[in-house]
Structure 1
Amino acid sequence: MMPPTDKNHGCPVVPPDLLSNLPENVIDAIVIHLPLRDAVRTSILSKKWRYNWCRLPELTLDQALWETTDNVISPTTRFTNIFYHLLTIHVGPIIKFTLAIADLGNCPKIDNLICFLSRNGIQHLVLQFPKGNLYKLPSSFFTCFQMRHLSLHNCSINPPPTFKGFDKLVSLELCGVTIHSRHLESLISHSPLLEQLVLQSSIFYHVQIEAPKLRSFDFKGRIRFISVRNAPLLAKLSLVNGGYSEKAGIRDTTKFIQSFHALEHLHLDYSSVRFLANEVSEKLPTALNCLKRLHLGISLVEQDVVSFALCLIRSSPYLQDIEIQAYERFNPATSDVMNEILGLKSVEVEGFSDVTLNHLRAVKLKGITGTKPEMQLIKLLLAKSPMLAGMLIEHGRGNKSLEARLELVTELTKFQRASPKAEVVYKGS
């Protein structure tokens, strides 16, 4: 097909170069949303696009960046080549940088990269290294004073004595990180704007946290002692304790729980409940008026665990959502029959004559095998929740026969429901 001609002069009319005529801000918006390799390739589109990628404020170096059909060149060499081009060609600040490489191994150039970022206004940094190969952060890391969001995986942190924290840090995630408890406490306390804290897959025998702006705290790991002080805004707390010990725990559980005046979402796995379960009264002295979602892992035949769980429910008048994972755990000091009697007595409906869960709308019970304490708990929640919309019951792994399960369902239909709209769904395994 021939190009159109100008009627006045008879000359071919060249169609406009749409890519080159795009506004600069539009080009930047397109390039920043592309993977880095594709962003670099845009340099061949036109002269106007040639160096736009060099101004990218957000960069991601991950495995996909240099995965090719030819793997003769080692990842370390490829990373070194990419880093060299970044160092020599990139202009302007780098606001966000992500390094996520599974098989890089030791690469001294990473230290130079961290130094490069520290001088280019880094605010959001994500470093993900393979397990078993802890990367020791260089001294230049501790001079990233503009840092607002930090995520570290499989790193070793040993700050210099002169380090005073990141005073602009808003979120901190440490996964598989080695750091002394003293340095962790200092890092958190010297981050006055910290709102989100994640500590996972790490060993922290002692954790003391003081963060006046903290809104979300997610912990998963081994713990022997934990203290969260001066956190009046904390709305979400999740504790998954993989290393519970009978010798560990909270000295004053009531004081610990009640210190979170703004708590809306509480997630405690079984080990964390055991960790916290202590001598608690039937009801906390001050109600948890903000708590809306409660997720617990419990054994209904351990009286201290059940008492703690029921104390939380009694003390949370505005609960909207309850999820309970039931476990079959028995106290070897007493017989199975005695365990069941203790659990059954704890959840009798008659013991809750002064309690009504007026805001509870959804209940999910997992691991249910049909024991008497479990059925009594279901009966209790149905009888005390006038606004309940639905209850989902998931059967546990027990070898209950089909006949036994049918009996369970039949018994469920006989329970009185305070809410005429409550729908009970039983899901067998």
Structure 2
Amino acid sequence: MPPTGKKIHCPDVLSNLPEDVIDAILMFLPLQDAVQTSILSKKWRYYWCRLQALTLDRSLWKTEKDKEYPTTKLVNVMYHILTFVTRPITKFSLDPPYLESCPKMDNLLHFLSKNGINHLVLNLASTNLYKLPVSFFTCLQMKHLTLQYCLILPPPDFTGFDRLIRLELYDVTISSKSLESLIGHAKFLEHLALVNAPVLDISDHIQINTPKLRFLDYTSSIRSISLVNVPLLEELCLTSDEPSENSRICDIATFFESCNSLEHLHLSYDNIKVLAEGGVPKRLPFDLTCVKRLCLCIGFDEVDVVLCGLCLIRSFPYLQYLEIEMKYCCVDVPALECLEVEGCSDLTFPHLIEVKLFVIGSIPEMQFIKLLLSKSQVLKRMLIESWIEDIRRIDKRLDELANCWRASPEAEVVFDLNKVPYNNPV
């Protein structure tokens, strides 16, 4: 027991932590919490200023006042960043609530461009598109870039970010020439997402010539792109909400010619229609043996769309997972000859394990489901979803499916009715 009247001096564990440990602790804290560590001790007062990765997300706008005046909050935070941060910021992410304007953003990007930024996320929901300043195009160390609600107008001497690995553009505006240049100079690009990204000259189309690319998410008509050189592409998601006005014909065999490593394919209804316009062979002149998962949206009242879907299925001999959303059509539409089991004797699914279908109960749909069950020797589960309000209209047909013959003795058919339509892959 210590002598009475003498103070006990406890070691200051926090102050004695190695600096690299302190940096690691701060990196995993939300920015607001990291700044508040300055009150722990005199030594910790300015440790947060050493952060090299900053995330300004919606958690910073917590109070009602913050939500009412988000721009004021953003200006204050940016002032502290520009004034107090002492180390180069290599990773920066900004995701504020809706802004009427983006004040001091040019100053911030100029600051980041001088400090070796290589990972940048700008999710800017505002009234007007934010025009990226010239300083942005000098960030030549950039490896990961995500932009939303931005206007991209590169200067004439801009040659792209040649170290870029990941590029995501959401609701941005850019010319097709600038976009193609941006992608074409990124020889190490592996991940590319172009979602609702309108181009200024829609008459042109973009050539995707990226030999390292592994993932592509493109939300627009496939008329506007060509997959020129994508030998490592593993996942391809092509969605579109409306038909393209571009008159360019898209040949289905030419489009998939470079996709030798493709494993996952998502195709929307509009893009399947575009592929079908150029004429649909019974199968592609080559098999894509790596494809394991296929997601489609088709309408069984349109023969060319159905034939296009069957063409793809025939060309993916090792398909394991199939997901199809049936586009709405008349429930009592006549059966299609192309779906008759006798006419699909060459169609087999030797590796198909799981199927997910969203149906409306038409006769061709039921015929197609029977075809799947009769041709899938290793099928384990088929999930059938529907949003039909009057279930009695299709009850009889569903009863037939529950009792129809299945090639796989382990195949389980599960019904989930009155379900809201899912959005993927439409």
TM-score (norm 2): 0.91
| In 2: Cα distance, 1:71 partner to 1:157 partner | 29
Judge conservation of contact 1:157–1:179 (CA < 8 Å) in 2: yes
Query: Which residue in 2 is equivalent to 1:167?
Result: 162
User: Does structure 1 conserve the Cα–Cα contact (< 8 Å) formed by 2:276 and 2:305?
Assistant: yes
Q: CA RMSD in A?
A: 2.2
Which residue of 2, 8, 19 maps to 1:6? 2
1:333 alignment counterpart? none
Corresponding position of 2:243: 244
Match for 1:417 among 368, 384, 406?
A: 406
Aligned counterparts, 1:29-428, within 5 A: 29-68=24-63, 70=65, 74-204=69-199, 205=202, 206-221=205-220, 224-245=223-244, 248=247, 250-278=249-277, 279-329=279-329, 340-341=334-335, 344-366=336-358, 368-397=359-388, 399-402=389-392, 404-428=393-417
Structure scoring higher RCO (CA < 8 A, sep ≥ 6) equals 2
Answer whether contact 1:302 1:329 (CA < 8 A) is retained. Answer: no
Provide closer, same or farther for how the CA distance between residues 309 and 249 of structure 1 changes in structure 2, counting only shifts above 3 A.
Answer: farther
Counterpart Cα distance in 1 of 2:166 and 2:142: 10
The Cα shift of 1:327 comes to 1.4
Alignment-mate amino acid for residue 39 of structure 1: A
Aligned CA distance change for structure 1 residues 170 and 199 (closer, same or farther; 3 Å): same
- The alpha-carbon distance between structure 1 residues 411 and 249, as it changes in their structure 2 partners (threshold 3 A), is farther
Does structure 2 conserve the Cα–Cα contact (< 8 Å) formed by 1:258 and 1:288? no
Give per-residue Cα distances to partners, 1:241-276, cap 9 Å, x unaligned.
123147646431111123211110000111121122
Distance 2:91 2:407 in 1: 52
Distance (Å, rounded) in 1 between the aligned partners of 2:114 and 2:273: 47
> Are the aligned partners of 2:98 and 2:126 in contact in 1 as well (CA < 8 Å)?
no
CA change 1:72–1:199 in 2 (3 A) is closer
Q: In structure 2, what residue type is equivalent to 1:405?
A: I
SS of residue matched to 1:47? coil
Whether contact under 8 Å (1:391, 1:423) holds in the other structure is yes
Question: Equivalents in 2 of 1:371, 1:355: separation in Å?
Answer: 21
Q: State the SS of the aligned residue for 2:372.
A: helix
1:212·1:233 contact (CA, 8 Å) conserved in 2?
A: yes
* SS of residue in 2 equivalent to 1:203: coil
Counterpart-to-counterpart distance in 2, 1:73 and 1:294: 45
Deviations along 1:47-66, one digit per CA (max 9) or x if unpaired, are 22122111111112234325
Question: Is the deviation greater in 121-130 or in 368-377?
Answer: 368-377
| Counterpart code for 1:104 | L
* Structure with the greater alpha carbon radius of gyration: 1
Q: Aligned partners of 1:412, 1:109: CA distance in 2, in Å?
A: 62
TM-score, normalised via structure 1 length: 0.90
**CA contact under 8 A between 2:140 and 2:161: conserved in structure 1?**
yes
Q: Percent identity?
A: 52
How far apart in 2 are the matches of 1:69 and 1:269? 41
Give a deviation string over 1:100-159, Cα, whole Å, max 9, x none.
Answer: 223333344110100100111111101111143100000000000110000000000000
Compared with structure 1, are the counterparts of its residues 244 and 74 closer, same or farther at alpha carbon in structure 2 (3 Å cutoff)?
Answer: same
Give the secondary structure class of the aligned counterpart of 1:197.
strand
CA separation of 1:413 and 1:242: change in aligned 2, threshold 3 A: closer
**2 CA distance for matches of 1:231 and 1:72?**
44
Please report how far the alpha carbon of residue 46 of structure 1 lies from its aligned counterpart in structure 2 after TM superposition: 1.1
- Shifted more, 237-246 versus 253-262: the winner is 237-246
Q: CA 1:217 to 1:408, structure 2 compared with 1: closer, same or farther past 3 Å?
A: same
Cα distance in 2 between the residues matched to 1:359 and 1:95: 46
Q: 1:200 Cα deviation (Å)?
A: 0.9
Q: Quote the offset at 1:224 in angstroms.
A: 4.4
Which deviates more, 253-262 or 303-312? 253-262
CA offset at residue 69 of structure 1? Answer: 5.2
8 Å CA contact 2:250–2:274 kept in 1: the answer is: no
SS of 1:266's equivalent in the other structure is strand
| CA distance in structure 1 between the aligned counterparts of 2:280 and 2:21, rounded to whole angstroms | 61
Shift of 1:73: 9.4
